[in-house]
């Protein structure tokens, strides 16, 4: 009997972040070594079937690893029959663009509906002509409800808005047969959840929870209870830490993982807000997994060392083949979160272009429109339009990394920083700010890249210019590749994890009596 | 920052006998099946402490705090596990090994000799110790005439003069008067600044919260939580509130179930 490991994440998308990729690799290795990994997601999305299919098709998630979602789970569990005739009729009427009795303003994928001059309804379709939402309005053009449709054609969620401020005050979630399995109440002024009610068609008693958070905890607990062998739960993300820690009893072993830095600022020391729950769980003695040794040491000093902090650096393997390296091209692969000093990078690159006009910089990673606009504005202002390109997210990042002379990372703090390991695996040196935890631990200055004093734009420019010594740059690339082969291998990774997983019971603290 | 005290899987087991004859049989007939039952005062305790840390040991009565502090202080050996203490360690407890028949002054001399001080060095530190102890003329009286507060003052004064690297204070500050406690805490703060490690056992949660940087919460001989003061004390206070709300019968059941887990053959 394989032991199940629940990997709890907030959400998945077809554009997986570095953290999600790292969770997928976990699933791959756990499966390979005799465990039964199951990915659990907590958010509401109508696309999970499709997302799962795509991630499996890309090879990110092995076919044998199930992906379960809390909303999908209850929708299926409480579904009594196939789509009801009422649901069908409602959908067939809704999907029509030109409904009888309305004047319709047709705007392609969206349409506005008027009755004798009064705006009453709005519809949106996706690019495949699939009906997504129907909004309804009162006579004063105030939205009163939104109905969202599942790709299979049934009404999946209805949101009702408060007439006072047009903020939601109730959501109802439906099964395929039209049964409402979940109702959530909101305070329309604060947007905080007030209660969540779960309805089982077999019982007339509603189950009440203070919020969906508690329902998510209950869901994980329900899955745990179905296991024949005591399972392991890994809280992979800040948002799942409290869901997992609130599960009562000791029917499952628990591991808490921190993929990113737990620090927001070092001087003065401010811990990351989203690490708060983790830092509260740590004193209880549950295994905590981080990706760098420096992070463990920092936590030991500031939280306490009871030998429950484990270091499991991620592993990286390149998938790039036959990619030509442009020795004048710098790349920067990042998640562009708040700690990313992009403007300093662009500023430094202006100095680089002055020295070497053929130099280019290509930026990759998920970023908001506002951030992208701000970056492009700065690029235009510095007259770098031809030299600097902002690309956004790219699925196959290995090709990008393998094509540049160096990967430049300007984060203020980070965990292992997957983009360093990925660059090394592609034989690409990394220029990074000399910050805890990942960069300072992975890069020896002048070996597989350069460490630059954080926020020192001139030094950053100097480090980039040093890469124009082609021989030195190539030598650094060779060192980078060797580093990856020595430190970030799947073998070491699974050995580290199995040492914990195979002896998990020895690392579990006692459940308190009161 | 360097780790100064490292405890690895430390267990202290006592034998419990129902009568003296049982104890004698076990002692005299080593090959016979032992009669005494075993009791784990502490079991499998693992944690490390850094220089500059002030660690509060908290827990309800009988949880194993004093056993643990005695092991750290080197007064009791652990039954199993590893205890590493970097540097000199000094224990200040209410009954911190003062001889009742000797006067305060003689006790100072005696303890200083035990610490390896020369006659000259003792003469040099004597006035400082007497001054810190605030005992005045009582210093020439036998210790048996002292109140528990006065004993603690003397014990504290001797121990701080020794300038140890690791200090264990077991309830010693809860018996003196407030002025002396404040003075002692100030001295401890000075030690903290100098990077010394202090273990602090007290039932006074306010004092623990004000003074400690980390808390080790011991429950039924196990380490229940170990971490920053604000986090662990919040949980500990919540636990104490819950515990106090229990009826006497329920409290006893709680203590019994903890104790049952600690007894074995």
Q: Is the pLDDT of residue A160 over 70?
A: yes
pLDDT recorded at residue A200 = 95
Answer yes or no: do A366 and A425 share one domain. yes
A506 and chain B: CB distance < 8 Å anywhere? no
Q: Is residue A510 part of a domain?
A: no
- For B50-82, the pLDDT digits (tens) are 999 999 999 998 899 989 999 998 889 999 999
Taking the Cβ of residue A505 and every Cβ of chain B, the question of whether any pair is shorter than 8 Å is answered with no
Residue B1: pLDDT over 80: no
Domain end (from A256, A283, A311): A311
What is the predicted pLDDT for the residue at A432? 96
Mean pLDDT of the A296-303 span: 97
A177, A226: one domain? no
Structure-token pair, residue B149: 């507060």
Is A512 near chain B, with CB under 8 Å?
yes
Going by pLDDT thresholds of 50, 70 and 90, the confidence category of residue B95 is low
Q: What is the mean pLDDT of residues A49-76?
A: 96
DSSP A76-116: HHT--SS--HHHHHHHHHHH-SS-TT-EEEEETTEEEEEET
Residue B265 has pLDDT above 90, yes or no: no
| Cα A389 from Cα A212, distance rounded (Å) | 42
Helix, strand and coil percent figures for chain B, each rounded to 5: 45, 25, 25
Q: Are residues A438 and A351 in the same domain?
A: yes
> Considering only residues 208 to 237 of chain B, which have any Cβ-Cβ distance to chain A shorter than 8 Å?
214, 219, 222-228, 231-232, 235
Residue A25 and residue A103 in one domain? no
User: Rounded to the nearest 5°, which phi and psi values hold at B3?
Assistant: -75, 125
pLDDT number for residue B94: 65
Closest residue, chain A, to B216 (C-alpha): A283
Q: Is A285 on the interface with B (CB under 8 A)?
A: yes
A305/B contact by beta carbon, under 8 A: yes
| Residue A90 confidence (pLDDT) above 70 | yes
In a domain, B188, yes or no: no
Q: What are phi and psi of B205, to 5 degrees?
A: -65, -30
Q: What are phi and psi of A223, to 5 degrees?
A: -65, -40
Question: pTM here?
Answer: 0.94
What are residue B228's DSSP bridge partners? B214
pLDDT value at B85 more than 90: yes
Three-state SS at B231 = helix
Closest residue, chain A, to B245 (C-alpha): A514
CATH (domain of A264)? 3.40.50.2000
Last residue of a domain, which of B163, B179, B214?
B163
Q: How many helices (H) and strands (E) does chain A have?
A: 16, 25
> Do residues B216 and B247 share a domain?
yes
Do A272 and A189 share a structural domain?
no
The reply to whether residue B246 touches residue A307, judged by beta carbons under 8 angstroms, is: no
Contact state of B223 with A305 under an 8 Å Cβ cutoff: no
B257 touches chain A (CB under 8 A): yes
pLDDT tens-digit series, residues B100-155: 899 999 999 988 888 788 899 899 989 989 998 888 889 999 999 988 888 888 88
CATH number of the domain where residue A108 is located: 3.90.930
A278, A358: one domain: no
Residue A433 lies in a domain: yes
Whether residues B206 and B82 share a domain: the answer is yes
Instruction: Say which range, A174-183, A212-221, A224-233, A336-345, has the weakest mean pLDDT.
Output: A336-345
Asked if A106 and A64 sit in the same domain, the reply is: no
- In a domain, residue A409? The reply is yes
Q: Has residue A498 been placed in a domain?
A: no
Least confident window among A57-61, A181-185, A379-383, B207-211: B207-211
Judgement on whether residues A385 and A466 belong to the same structural domain of the protein: yes
Residue-wise DSSP of A271-297 = E-GGGHHHHHHGGGT--EEES-HHHHH
CA distance A451 to A470: 19
Tell me what pLDDT residue A82 has.
75
Q: Do A514 and B242 touch (CB under 8 A)?
A: yes
Q: Is A78 part of any domain?
A: no
Quick one: tokens of A93? 């009427």
Q: Work out the mean pLDDT of chain B and round it to a whole number.
A: 89
The chain-wide mean pLDDT, for chain A, equals: 95
The C-alpha of A30 sits at a distance from chain B's nearest C-alpha, in angstroms, of 29
Label residue B213 by pLDDT band (50, 70, 90).
very high
Higher pLDDT, B178 or A241: A241
> A437 and A292 in contact (C-beta within 8 Å)?
yes
Quick one: B203 and B82 in the same domain?
A: yes
CATH number of residue B1's parent domain: 3.40.50.300
Which among B108, B143, B163 is the end of a domain? Answer: B163
For residue B230, list chain A residues with Cβ-Cβ distance below 8 A.
none
Overall domain count for chain B: 2
Asked whether residue A347 is assigned to any structural domain, the reply reads yes
Q: Cβ neighbours of residue A116 under 8 Å, at least 6 residues apart?
A: none
CB A234 within 8 A of CB A7: yes
**pLDDT band at residue B96 using 50, 70 and 90 as cut-offs:** low
Structural domains of chain A, count: 3
- A185 has pLDDT over 90: yes
Is A376 part of a structural domain of the chain? yes
Q: Is the bond preceding residue A268 a cis peptide, omega within 30 degrees?
A: yes
Least-confidence region, from A158-172, A433-447, A449-463, B101-115: B101-115
Residues pairing with B95 in the sheet: none
Please state, for a pLDDT cut of 90, what percent of chain A lies above it: 88
A93 & A48 share domain: no
**With an 8 Å Cβ cutoff, are A514 and B223 in contact?**
no
Are A358 and A484 in the same domain? yes
Cβ–Cβ gap A300/B48 under 8 Å: yes
* Contact of A114 with A105, CB cutoff 8 Å: yes
- For residue A198, what pLDDT is reported? 97
In this prediction, residues A210-222 reach a mean pLDDT of 98
What residue numbers bound the domain in which A7 lies? 3-70+214-311
Structure tokens at A72: 């999908």
B199 and B78 in a single domain? The answer is yes
Q: How far apart are CA B113 and CA B97, in angstroms?
A: 14
- Whether A110 and A191 share a structural domain: yes
Q: Which of the 8 DSSP states describes residue A117?
A: T
Residue B181 lies in a domain: no
B97 domain residue, yes or no:
yes
Whether residue A282 sits in one domain with residue A376:
no
Question: Of the candidates A283, A510, A514, which has its C-beta nearest B227's C-beta?
Answer: A283
Q: Is the pLDDT of residue B33 over 80?
A: no
| Among A167-176, A330-339, A452-461, the least confident range | A330-339
> In the 8-state DSSP scheme, what is residue A314?
-
Using the beta-carbon criterion (under 8 Å), do B228 and A509 form an inter-chain contact?
Answer: no
End of a domain among B163, B183, B203?
B163
Domain that holds residue B216: 1-20+37-88+195-265
Q: Looking up tokens 């039954």, which residue turns up?
A: B79
* Domain termination residue (choose one: A311, A344, A374): A311
The 3-state DSSP class for residue A330 equals strand
| Residue B144 covered by a domain | yes
Q: Which of A24-38, A254-268, B155-169 has the least mean pLDDT?
A: B155-169
Any domain includes A469: yes
A53: DSSP letter? H
| Least confident interval from A374-388, A396-410, B87-101, B104-118 | B87-101
Query: Is A280 at the interface with chain B, CB within 8 A?
Result: yes
Considering only the beta carbons, identify the residue of B226, B231, B235 that sits closest to A279: B231
User: Tokens in use for A149?
Assistant: 């449709």
């Amino acid at each position: 009997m394989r032991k199940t490991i629940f990997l709890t994440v907030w959400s998945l998308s077809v554009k997986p972040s570095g953290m999600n990729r790292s969770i997928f690799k976990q699933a791959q290795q756990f499966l390979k070594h005799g465990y039964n990994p199951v990915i659990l997601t907590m958010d509401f999305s109508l696309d999970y079937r499709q997302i799962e299919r795509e991630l499996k098709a890309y090879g990110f998630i092995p076919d044998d690893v199930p992906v379960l979602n809390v909303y999908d789970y209850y929708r299926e569990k409480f579904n009594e029959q196939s789509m009801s005739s009422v649901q069908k009729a409602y959908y067939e009427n809704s999907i029509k663009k030109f409904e009888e009795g309305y004047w319709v303003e047709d705007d392609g994928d969206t349409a506005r509906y008027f009755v004798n001059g009064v705006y009453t309804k709005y519809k949106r379709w996706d690019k495949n002509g699939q009906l997504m939402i129907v909004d309804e309005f009162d006579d004063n053009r105030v939205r009163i409800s939104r109905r969202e449709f599942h790709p299979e054609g049934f009404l999946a969620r209805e949101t009702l808005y408060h007439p006072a401020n047009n903020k939601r005050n109730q959501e109802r979630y439906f099964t395929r047969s039209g049964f409402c399995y979940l109702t959530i109440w909101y305070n329309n002024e604060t947007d905080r959840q007030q209660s969540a009610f779960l309805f089982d068609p077999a019982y007339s008693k509603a189950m009440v929870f203070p919020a969906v958070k508690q329902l998510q905890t209950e869901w994980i607990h329900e899955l745990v209870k179905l296991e024949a062998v005591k399972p392991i739960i890994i809280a992979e993300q800040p948002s799942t830490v409290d869901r997992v820690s609130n599960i009562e009893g000791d029917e499952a072993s628990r591991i808490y993982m921190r993929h990113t830095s737990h620090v927001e600022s070092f001087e003065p020391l401010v811990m990351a807000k989203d690490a708060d729950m983790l830092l509260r769980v740590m004193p209880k003695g549950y295994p905590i997994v981080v990706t760098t040794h420096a992070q463990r040491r920092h936590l030991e000093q500031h939280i306490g060392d009871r030998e429950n902090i484990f270091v499991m650096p991620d592993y990286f393997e390149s998938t790039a083949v036959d990619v030509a390296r442009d020795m004048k091209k710098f790349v920067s692969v990042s998640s562009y979160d708040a700690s990313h000093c992009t403007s300093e990078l662009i500023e430094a690159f202006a100095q680089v272009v002055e020295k070497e006009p053929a130099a280019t910089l290509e930026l990759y990673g998920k970023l908001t429109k506002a951030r992208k606009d701000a970056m492009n504005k700065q690029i235009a202002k510095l007259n770098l339009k031809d030299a600097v390109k902002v690309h956004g997210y790219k699925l196959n990042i290995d090709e990008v990394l393998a094509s540049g002379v160096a990967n430049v990372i300007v984060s203020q703090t980070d965990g292992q920083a997957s983009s360093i390991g990925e660059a090394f695996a592609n034989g690409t040196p990394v220029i990074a700010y000399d910050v805890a935890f990942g960069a300072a631990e992975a890069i020896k200055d002048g070996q597989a890249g350069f460490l630059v004093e954080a926020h020192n734009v001139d030094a950053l420019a100097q480090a980039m210019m040093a890469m124009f010594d082609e021989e030195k740059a190539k030598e650094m690339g060779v060192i980078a590749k060797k580093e990856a082969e020595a430190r970030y291998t799947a073998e070491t990774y699974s050995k580290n994890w199995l040492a914990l997983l195979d002896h998990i019971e020895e690392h579990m603290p006692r459940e308190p009596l009161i | 920052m360097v780790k100064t005290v490292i405890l690895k899987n430390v267990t202290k087991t006592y034998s419990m006998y129902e009568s003296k004859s049982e104890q004698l049989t076990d002692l005299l007939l080593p090959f016979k099946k032992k009669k005494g039952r075993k009791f784990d005062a502490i079991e499998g305790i693992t944690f490390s402490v850094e220089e500059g840390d002030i660690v509060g040991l908290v827990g309800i009565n009988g949880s194993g705090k004093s056993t643990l502090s005695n092991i750290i202080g080197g007064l009791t050996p652990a039954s199993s596990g590893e205890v590493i203490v970097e540097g000199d360690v000094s224990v200040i407890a209410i009954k911190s090994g003062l001889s009742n028949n000797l006067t305060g002054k003689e006790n100072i001399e005696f303890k200083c000799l035990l610490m390896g001080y020369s006659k000259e060095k003792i003469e040099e530190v004597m006035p400082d110790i007497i001054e810190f102890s605030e005992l005045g003329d009582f210093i020439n009286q036998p210790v048996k005439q002292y109140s528990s507060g006065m004993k603690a003052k003397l014990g504290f004064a001797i121990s701080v003069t020794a300038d140890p690297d690791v200090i264990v204070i077991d309830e010693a500050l809860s018996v003196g008067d407030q002025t002396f406690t404040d003075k002692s805490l100030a001295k401890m703060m000075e030690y903290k600044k100098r990077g010394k490690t202090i273990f602090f056992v007290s039932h006074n949660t306010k004092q623990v919260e004000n003074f400690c940087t980390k808390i080790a919460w011991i429950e039924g001989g196990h380490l229940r939580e170990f971490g920053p003061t604000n986090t662990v004390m919040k949980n500990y206070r919540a636990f104490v509130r819950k515990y106090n709300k229990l009826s006497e019968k329920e409290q006893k059941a709680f203590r019994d179930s903890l104790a049952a887990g600690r007894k074995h053959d």
